[in-house]
Amino acid sequence: MQCFTCPFCGPRDETEFFYGGEAGKERPEPSAEVTAERWAEWLYGETNSKGPSREIWLHLTCGEFFLMERHTVTHEVFATRATRGEEA
């Protein structure tokens, strides 16, 4: 059971969270100009990095999405912070 720190609520058990995807993915728009390859990359392309990773998580309890930097092998969490007003 991992323990994540919601930037709004503090440290909570992992079961309160939901993985929202890798951070930094930009939705390609307008769709009329988006190639099929680019769209497929947006839908299904994941870095799946082994090691440090920047991810979006949702704290189900408070409903806030936030940024988490963590290590996918050791499960060490380096930082969590609100995405508000920042590029995620």
> Whose Cβ is closer to Zn ion: residue 47's or residue 61's?
61
Per-residue binding letters, 8-47, with other proteins (x by CB under 8 A): ------x---x-x-------xxxx--x-x--x--xx----
Max CA-CA distance within the chain?
44
What, of other proteins, Zn ion, none, does residue 8 touch, CB below 5 to 8 Å by kind?
Zn ion
Q: Kindly report the number of other CB atoms within 10 A of residue 57's CB atom.
A: 21
Residue from 3, 9, 24, 61 in contact with other proteins (CB under 8 A) = 3
| Separation CA 59–CA 70 (nearest Å) | 16
- Establish whether the linkage from the previous residue to 30 is cis, with ω within 30° of 0: yes
